[in-house]
Structure 1
């Protein structure tokens, strides 16, 4: 019964909603993810994304890498292999397509998270879907916001942390022969030290760990592609032919290619689930659209870069043929492909990549749970401490337990989580487009770095304290006002 409901939810309802929101906002925003693609690099290259405010809030870059830590996980290594095995090489084309569409969804939800963020008494920001549901749609939608927060707490705060711990422990055991309970204990101790330091310490760890693990993985991928450069055109043509059913003997034809590619793209990058906006809201930026642009780049990193890297490893190895991959699936297929390219040490490398990806995801999942507790008004420090202790215990327990049932339940709650968030995004198209138009208008006026003037949006339930600008940003805003009045 649970599997049937999951299949209906994930296989039909959510795919329709995810595509509806992604394509709808892409068209309504005049293809925002493509118009501002170059600006993603410009923001990161200018140093603007690394700037923190006087209160020490996270920088835009820290929020980016923290969300990448959550998006990039075992699915990028094992999930892509499953997509190719079941849907053929053509699944990669459809994965690329929905990844590009998902960039618009991510822009919308992360921009809204910035708009409706709240300044906390301890000097931090809080935001995310629960906030933009209640304050963007209206206070009468608070029950919907509470449901979202509870689902987020159950899914990411508890369920997925146990699952990630299991994946890390079993991967280390396979690669190095370390008993899973030793890995579980060590992982729990390290996680405990970090999470008791709060979101700033989590971001500091992610700021260094995520680029190292992502770049390390991509360096190996680029080396493999370089060694097989003469076969790359053939591989790309194979992907295109298979995507449109012109390679019927590979995979399950065009239907399977589309289904597996859509699932891989949509559910790997998390665009539409509402998880990344919880992190996007924490950063200081001069305009909400800035963080929307930066966060849409994290979808590009996850789907277009890292998932593609895994796909290239497999396809260039020749293991995509169903006749030769029988009995090989998931991470084993990726490990086998890596070993064929670089030798047996490639298997260990894939396991280490899984270890780093899984560890960073645990930190990200913990913060999502903490954010849920904050929205549910559990400001009691004893409750937060209890939650942290529970997370440490779950990490240790998850490493040593068969989590098949937990996975099925978490899959269901994550689907319901996405359902609530996507419905909310449909209601919030108008304010999202309004913020984007403000950003566009300032750029059209020749303003290189647009600044958000909260006074222009007094009809929206925006917290002015959360938009206290830094002196240099406030000076630019004042200069705009002076120029407009003269």
Structure 2
């Protein structure tokens, strides 16, 4: 186990940290390679690349992103609605990172980190657009005739690299199928034990019962749950943040000025603080919105799109990045900064800072609200994670009743284990799985740039000419081929 921990630490050091250090593995001598966080560089490059190649689609078509949501509530026997797909992806994205992650960014990089979080969300919208277009284009039908897809499918069909598709799927099963649900369950049970002294085993059993009832309904059951839960928790959190903001409206101009001046190192703390603000903002923003990790294309692929064109799902999921980071993360930032808690952030755990900040505004009820929000945000992630893992069963020809049953029992067992376990090692393995997924997915979508650009131009041209926006096989050149009878 110690050797496994060492290997995981090395991989995470290369992907997320400061690079490979020979001293991390026993018996190795040599010079440490300080590469910097490679994955952060890849994600930033990917966002800038698609912003350039798609002509700043997230800015030029910002209004159209909302227009696409009109008529998005209609589903069919083949797939869920675009709105359900958006809510499913948000239920996985919106989690403790929106509450604790922002607090960590402020504690490490100060108020300026929020500006850089906004910037990475802006370019991440282009990445989310690109990967979601591919997810929708290369989707397949499972044995029930419902749509499934994701990076494994567009890697296999578009790039003809089956081995790479299998590698991605295995990382996704490890991460979203099992580990991530365990750590989210641990977050819930810890919060309930700390706030209300509920034993972790009891709350863990309650989680698997409720989650089991939802996921047994398949993707449609998960989508219906997400469609109800995500707007409720999102709107509730926004309303609380707006109430706090209006209570302190006289402090808002000063707070905004502080965010911008800190972002560019114009305050007394100087250059070191600038570097910390940039790194913290980018890292927490990427963690929060998941653009580039390859998770969101699974939700995008499951939709019956409106208009009936793969690019419409690019707009829908681009909206998800905007809502997750620029809306919800900003809500947390305002709650913390308007409470004057920035200096108190040092040395505090992320969620504790958010709880303390809301208590300043709302008293003891603020702590109760954050505890409830943590539980709901984390639980929606638990449920959505199941859908991402299940989407890859088709790739291994396991999308049968027996295959789903085995997967479901494994998923529920990991939730129960996560509810009562100490999880530092599992968190590290989760970071590794997410990191490897992201490396594979980013490499794939960059290799598939010609297809993304081609099909996007097809949509743009039809939109500009006023003709019906619809995609049919052969409308534009793409790499590889789509499954028969999909388009």
Normalising by structure 2, report the TM-score: 0.92
Aligned residue among 83, 86, 89 for 1:61: 83
Alpha-carbon offset, residue 121 of structure 1: 3.1
Quote the Cα distance in structure 1 between the aligned partners of 2:458 and 2:323: 27
- Partners of 1:161 and 1:228 in 2: how far apart? 37
Q: Deviations over 1:162-215 (max 9, x none)?
A: 001000111122222211111100010011111111000000011000110111
Q: Which of 438, 444, 468 matches 1:424? A: 444
Is 2:28 the counterpart of 1:5?
no
Which of 470, 474, 478 matches 1:451? 470
Select 1:355's aligned residue among 355, 371, 375: 375
2:191 matched to 1:168? Answer: no
Alignment match, 1:481:
none
In structure 2, the partner of 1:52 is: 75
Mapping 1:39-438, distance limit 5 Å? 39-44=64-69, 46=70, 48-53=71-76, 55=77, 57-137=79-159, 139=160, 141-249=161-269, 253-285=273-305, 286-321=308-343, 324-438=344-458
SS in 2 for 1:456: coil
Is contact 1:242–1:248 with CA below 8 Å preserved after alignment? no
- Structure with greater helix share of residues: 1
- C-alpha root-mean-square deviation of aligned residues, in Å? 1.5
The match for 1:483 is none
Distance 2:13 2:51 in 1: 27
Which stretch has the larger CA shift, 309-318 or 369-378? 369-378
Residue 455 of structure 1: SS of its match in structure 2? Answer: coil
Query: Shift of the alpha carbon at 1:56?
Result: 5.1
SS in 1 for 2:321: helix
Alignment deviations for residues 408-451 of structure 1 (CA, whole Å, 9 cap, x no partner): 1111111111000000011011100001000011011123x511
| SS of equivalent to 2:398 | coil
Shift of 1:21: 1.1
Query: How has the CA–CA distance of structure 1 residues 252 and 188 changed in structure 2, closer, same or farther, with 3 Å as cutoff?
Result: farther
Q: Cα offset for 1:329?
A: 2.3
Task: Note if contact 1:278-1:371 (Cα within 8 Å) is conserved in structure 2.
Answer: yes
Distance 1:298 1:23, change over 3 A: same
Secondary structure of 2:380's partner? helix
Question: How far does residue 4 in structure 1 lie from its aligned partner after superposition?
Answer: 4.4
- Look up the SS of the partner of 1:114 in the other structure: helix
Q: CA deviation at 1:464?
A: 3.9
Greater than 6 Å deviation, 4+ residue runs? none
What residue in structure 1 maps to residue 42 of structure 2?
Answer: 17
Q: Is the Cα contact below 8 Å between 1:108 and 1:432 reproduced in 2?
A: yes
Distance 1:248 1:317 in 2: 21
Partner of residue 55 from structure 2, selected from 8, 30, 35 = 30
Q: CA deviation at 1:458?
A: 7.3
Following the alignment from structure 1 to structure 2, what is the Cα–Cα distance between the partners of residues 35 and 121?
Answer: 40
2:196, 2:63 → 1: CA distance?
42
Contact map agreement 2:106 2:113 (CA 8 A) in 1? yes
Equivalent residues, number: 459
Change (3 A) 1:283 1:230: same
Tell me how far apart the structure 2 counterparts of residues 20 and 241 of structure 1 sit (CA, whole Å). 25
